[in-house]
Chain A
């Protein structure tokens, strides 16, 4: 299968600190790649390099066969790269419907009736009945839903989900996982998440970032049980853990 998103050796340096270190990855439609790593491992910066809110120093980012490494953010969005932020950031003065409509109008798959498509997206995330509310008045869970809907509205090809499960109750996390599983049918999904069981349920593969570099990538169970992952993730060496 040809990967929709193909990232080769991207690096980003802020001053003396190498934040993303030659990361390569590939994701196809129908697939969810889970990304984990300790705080400061460069996960969010990696997303910034993919969606264009930061430019990589080296390496290439390909989406649907186009090299978008030097594209400005808005062009990447229009090509179909959608992003959901960790802390939901709706346009607070626009209605829920308008928040989603904006992305759809810029999407190549908008079709002749962007309004209808916007409603479809809102139905998917369960916000259709609140479509005329001002987004700034939404409670947290609904903001999370809207954040997802915004990403979907513009991200027809690739979805970048940055800790979208954070702050949700168990039941809500379960709902979210179901939503992501639905979404990955039509998208290539990258999901950064600290809530391991959520990620395990939705991801087909896991990638561990450590100090900006790829530590390991593979099937979720395999990765989670790898000694090196336990070591960096829990901050203890396997030998110490065994001895204790």
Chain B
């Protein structure tokens, strides 16, 4: 694998990382909720996908849609029944609740599925690839990247062109005066967490097609999401996307250099970004912010 291939592959997986970050960033940007259970939702979606593929005759694309819909409902219900009771200036109660939820989810998954490594079998697509200019790229990563880009564009259109999107942005701006214009704050929040969890779920399913997972993978996914969001800057779609690409490229390049230590390089890069930010030299990163 040449370096060019590595960078391309990094970009492909980076689009997916961007999606992880997007789910987290939406929940934080709109509701100021740090969803600690974000990673578990990602893993839960993967298990749901595995189960649906095993016990129903549904084809993969339909399964993705079903899982996304179920995730939306789950996010909505979580916000409506629990998180809306914790609204206020203090972000800690919601963090504690989602942290508790993450522990519950993790253990339920272990109980149901065991701790074995799982993956989603996508059949012959797994080995298909396209070659050009002497490079060879897997078809699946390309497809996943395209889906990520489409979802980013979709969310951007949603935020800028629709009533609910304007409501999300207004809520992110100033929730105290939200209702003075007739916005129903709680319903907007329900929809926002629904969307955030649905996006995370799709990302989780897509990742499960590329790499394996266990009930304990949630923490790693959450870490990636946090890194993406912090690298890219909160509150910017473009930042999320670029942050994901950056992390993906660093990780895959790192894997190429030291096959045993790929994730380490991602985290190191994140660490360096934090240092650079701290010293106000992060000009190229500021570009990703609004």
Contacts and interface: CB of A to CB of B under 8 A. Distances in A.
A154 B173 contact: no
A94 B169 contact: yes
Interface residues of A, number: 26
Contact of B182 (A53, A77, A91, A92): A77
A172 B185 CA distance: 35
B162 to A, nearest CB: 10
Interface in B150-193: 163, 166-167, 169-170, 172-174, 176-185
Contact of A103 (B176, B182, B184, B185): B182
Contacts of B180: 51, 53, 73, 77, 82-83, 150, 154
A160 B158 CA distance: 32
Nearest to B187: A74
A74 B182 contact: yes
A244 B258 CA distance: 92
A193 interface: no
Contact of A74 (B169, B172, B173, B185): B185
B173 A94 contact: yes
Q: What does DSSP make chain B's interface, helix, strand, loop or mixed?
A: helix
A233 interface: no
Interface string A98-119: 1001110111000000000000
Given A106-B182, A107-B182, A89 B177 contact: yes
Nearest to B182: A106
A37 interface: no
Contacts of A82: 180
Given A98-B166, A102-B166, A105-B163, A92 B174 contact: yes
A34 B185 CA distance: 31
A102 B167 contact: yes
B235 to A, nearest CB: 8
Give the interface centre of B163, B178, B181 by most chain A CB atoms within 10 Å.
Answer: B181
Contacts of A89: 174, 176-177
B174 A74 contact: no
Contact of A92 (B166, B173, B176, B178): B173
A154 B181 contact: yes
A106 B184 CA distance: 10
A194 interface: no
A11 interface: no
Given A94-B169, A98-B166, A102-B166, A73 B174 contact: no
A60 interface: no
Given A74-B185, A91-B169, A52 B174 contact: no
Given A91-B170, A94-B169, A102-B167, A85 B177 contact: yes
Interface string B94-105: 000000000000
A82 B179 CA distance: 10
Given A89-B174, A91-B174, A92-B174, A103 B181 contact: yes
B179 A94 contact: no
A140 B178 CA distance: 21
Contacts of A154: 180-182
Nearest to B188: A74
Contact of B179 (A73, A107, A153): A73
A102 B170 contact: yes
B170 A78 contact: no
A124 B109 CA distance: 59
B169 A93 contact: yes
A72 interface: yes
The 10 closest A-B pairs by CB, nearest first: A106-B182, A73-B179, A74-B179, A77-B182, A103-B181, A91-B173, A78-B182, A91-B170, A74-B184, A102-B181
Interface of B: 163, 166-167, 169-170, 172-174, 176-185
Interface of A: 51-53, 72-74, 77-78, 82-83, 85, 89, 91-94, 98, 101-103, 105-107, 150, 153-154
Given A72-B184, A89-B176, 16 more contacts: A52-B179, A53-B179, A72-B179, A74-B182, A77-B181, A82-B180, A83-B180, A91-B169, A93-B169, A93-B172, A94-B166, A102-B182, A105-B163, A105-B182, A106-B181, A107-B182
20 contacts: A73-B179, A74-B179, A74-B185, A77-B179, A77-B180, A83-B180, A85-B177, A89-B177, A92-B173, A93-B170, A93-B173, A94-B173, A98-B169, A102-B183, A105-B163, A107-B182, A150-B180, A150-B181, A154-B180, A154-B181
